[in-house]
């Protein structure tokens, strides 16, 4: 009897191990698992199964799994959210060219501002307009995300929008021909200070076009015989790693270390400069807590190699490298697969980079009208390359000028001659 009991226990243990192994393999290989089992049970037995939004269930389940990882930089984007993500990384889309928000009071899409030169601007759309229907379908019934997606479409196609204009208390029907909207991630200008000409370049984020835009901006500025350069990476959340390599390579000689990647097995891969395209000049980089990821890669690469100093506030501290995985449901998983280390070997993850000159941003709180005006100006400039700066209202930019001007005049910013 005891021998039988022992045998039974062994069989149960073996069965349990097989079950655990089967379940684990199911999760890893995409086979049957608890999540898909629950979905199937709902579909087969749930009383209100016909009214269930299964896409929403799946999205919620995946987001819960990702959240349970406890990884600060691992994200899941639903199919609808993927469209927004792709626009940010490609910096172009087919649409009417407006920055919008949701007006919950009127259940409408409110136009913050039409972009400069966009189809919406040419058609007469104005800031404050409320889009209440698109091609005959009400925004209230469609929902905000669906309405935004409906405004987008193939360049050359037409969309009819019904607009309520509060300033005139009038309702207008406007037909707009969509176009390819190209968002500029690089803005530039020159600053005259103490007898010097200084180039100013701001990078808003690192998209597919950033490297080419940055090179174009530098060509323009170098043609104007600038004496030094300020690169503004404040509130730049990062973006494509490849573009960070291109930007850093514009200044660093071929072979200089930009960053080192390390995976979970401890295997390291160094990434080095492709070879500089521009001669060496004094460079100051502006950073703050909103400077993350690719912004930090560029900042650390230029500073650690002795090509720049940093002014501003401690950066965000995102050294987690994400790999994109496109899922069968149209969603996107950004999974942390590596960490990166600066040329000096620092792991800045959740620590950030402390600038050489710490300067806090102004504590002055802008009025509502000033904030709205600034937002409109930023939207209009999203399709332009011209930067607007005012050192008198920007303490960090003033400090950057204070740092760079003496270095330009004394040529002590770096020890070697201007030979690169």
Q: Which helix (H) or strand (E) holds 360?
A: none
What tokens were used for 109? 């899409």
Q: Is the pTM of this model over 0.95?
A: no
Tell me what pLDDT residue 145 has. Answer: 83
What does pLDDT average to over the chain? Answer: 87
Instruction: Tell me the pLDDT tens digit for each residue of 95-104.
Output: 999 888 889 8
Exactly one of 273, 293, 299, 381 is catalytic; name it. 293
**Structural domain total, the chain:** 3
> Cα–Cα distances in Å, from 8 out to 3, 5, 263?
9, 5, 44
Give the chain's radius of gyration (CA, Å). 27
Exactly one of 129, 250, 256, 304 is catalytic; name it. 304
CA atoms of 30 and 375, how far apart (whole Å): 45
Q: Same domain for 47 and 109?
A: no
Active-site residue, 21 included? no
The mean per-residue pLDDT over the stretch 38-48 comes to 94
Q: Same domain for 196 and 253?
A: yes
Is residue 415, in this structure, part of any structural domain at all? Answer: no
Q: Same domain for 119 and 140?
A: yes
The mean per-residue pLDDT over the stretch 379-398 comes to 84
Is residue 65, in this structure, part of any structural domain at all? Answer: yes
Tell me what pLDDT residue 268 has. Answer: 97
Q: Same domain for 264 and 391?
A: yes
CA atoms of 98 and 75, how far apart (whole Å): 27
Number of Cα atoms under 13 Å in the Cβ half of residue 312:
26
253 and 275 Cβ atoms separated by less than 8 Å:
yes
Tell me what pLDDT residue 113 has. Answer: 81
Q: Same domain for 107 and 178?
A: yes
Q: Same domain for 214 and 281?
A: yes
User: Domain with 153 in it: what CATH number?
Assistant: 2.30.42.10
Q: Same domain for 341 and 393?
A: yes
Tell me what pLDDT residue 32 has. Answer: 61
Decide which of 40, 57, 81 is a domain's last residue: 81
Exactly one of 184, 318, 382, 394 is catalytic; name it. 318
Burial of 75 (0-12, 13-18, 19+ CB in 10 A): middle
Is residue 89, in this structure, part of any structural domain at all? Answer: no
Percent of the chain with pLDDT over 90: 71
The mean per-residue pLDDT over the stretch 293-306 comes to 97
What tokens were used for 216? 């174009």
Is residue 224, in this structure, part of any structural domain at all? Answer: yes
Q: Same domain for 223 and 191?
A: yes
Instruction: Tell me the pLDDT tens digit for each residue of 102-160.
Output: 898 899 999 988 888 889 999 999 989 999 999 999 999 998 888 999 999 999 999 99
Active-site residue, 293 included? yes
Number of Cα atoms under 13 Å in the Cβ half of residue 266:
0
Burial of 32 (0-12, 13-18, 19+ CB in 10 A): middle
Is residue 416, in this structure, part of any structural domain at all? Answer: no
**pLDDT(287) > 60:** yes
Quick check: helix, strand or coil at residue 157? coil
Q: Same domain for 118 and 28?
A: no
Instruction: Tell me the pLDDT tens digit for each residue of 3-35.
Output: 444 443 343 333 333 333 333 444 445 456 888
Tell me what pLDDT residue 100 has. Answer: 87
Q: Which helix (H) or strand (E) holds 235?
A: none
Q: Same domain for 281 and 404?
A: yes
Tell me what pLDDT residue 26 has. Answer: 46
Domain extent for 141: 94-182
More confident residue, 415 or 85: 85
**pLDDT(282) > 70:** yes
CA atoms of 222 and 214, how far apart (whole Å): 12
Q: Same domain for 104 and 28?
A: no
Active-site residue, 304 included? yes
Decide which of 59, 81, 103 is a domain's last residue: 81
The mean per-residue pLDDT over the stretch 380-388 comes to 79
User: Domain with 241 in it: what CATH number?
Assistant: 3.90.226.10
176 and 158 Cβ atoms separated by less than 8 Å:
yes
Instruction: Tell me the pLDDT tens digit for each residue of 217-227.
Output: 999 999 999 99
- Range of lowest pLDDT (82-96, 168-182, 184-198): 82-96
Q: Same domain for 397 and 317?
A: yes
């Amino acid at each position: 009897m005891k021998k039988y009991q022992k045998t039974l226990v062994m069989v149960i243990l073996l069965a349990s191990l097989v079950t655990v192994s089967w379940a684990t393999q199911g999760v890893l290989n995409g086979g049957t698992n608890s999540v898909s089992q629950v979905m199937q049970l709902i579909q087969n037995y749930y009383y209100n199964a016909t009214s269930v939004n299964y896409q929403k269930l799946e999205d919620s389940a995946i987001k819960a799994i990702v959240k349970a990882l406890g990884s600060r930089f691992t994200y899941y984007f639903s199919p609808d959210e993927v469209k927004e993500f792709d626009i940010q990384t490609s910096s172009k889309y087919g649409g009417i060219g407006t920055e919008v928000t949701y007006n919950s009071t009127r259940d409408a899409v409110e136009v913050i501002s039409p972009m400069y030169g966009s189809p919406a601007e040419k058609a007469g759309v104005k800031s404050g307009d409320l889009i209440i229907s698109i091609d005959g379908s009400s925004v209230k019934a469609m929902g905000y995300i669906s309405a935004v997606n409906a405004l987008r479409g193939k360049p050359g196609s037409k969309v009819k929008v019904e607009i309520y204009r509060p300033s005139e208390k009038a309702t207008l029907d406007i037909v707009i021909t969509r176009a390819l909207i190209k968002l500029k991630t690089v803005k530039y200008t020159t600053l005259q200070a103490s007898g010097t000409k200084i180039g100013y370049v701001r990078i808003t984020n690192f998209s597919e076009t950033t490297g080419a835009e940055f090179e174009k901006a530098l060509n323009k500025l170098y043609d104007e015989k600038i004496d030094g350069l300020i690169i503004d990476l404040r509130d730049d959340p990062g973006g494509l790693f490849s573009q960070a390599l291109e930007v850093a390579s514009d200044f660093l000689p071929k072979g200089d270390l930009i960053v080192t990647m390390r995976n979970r097995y401890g295997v390291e891969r160094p990434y080095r400069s492709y070879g500089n395209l521009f001669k060496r000049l004094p460079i100051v980089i502006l950073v703050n807590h909103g400077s993350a990821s690719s912004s930090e890669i560029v900042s650390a690469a230029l500073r650690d190699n002795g090509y720049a100093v940093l002014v501003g506030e401690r950066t965000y501290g995102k050294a987690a490298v994400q790999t994109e995985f496109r899922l069968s449901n149209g969603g996107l998983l950004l999974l942390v697969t590596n960490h990166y280390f600066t040329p000096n070997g620092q792991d800045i993850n959740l620590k950030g980079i402390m600038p050489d000159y710490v300067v806090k941003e102004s504590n002055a709180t802008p009025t509502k009208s000033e904030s709205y005006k600034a937002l409109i100006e930023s939207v209009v400039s999203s399709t332009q390359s011209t930067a607007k700066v005012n050192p008198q209202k920007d303490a960090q930019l003033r400090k950057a000028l204070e740092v760079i001007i003496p270095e330009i005049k004394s040529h002590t910013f770096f020890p070697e001659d201007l030979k690169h």
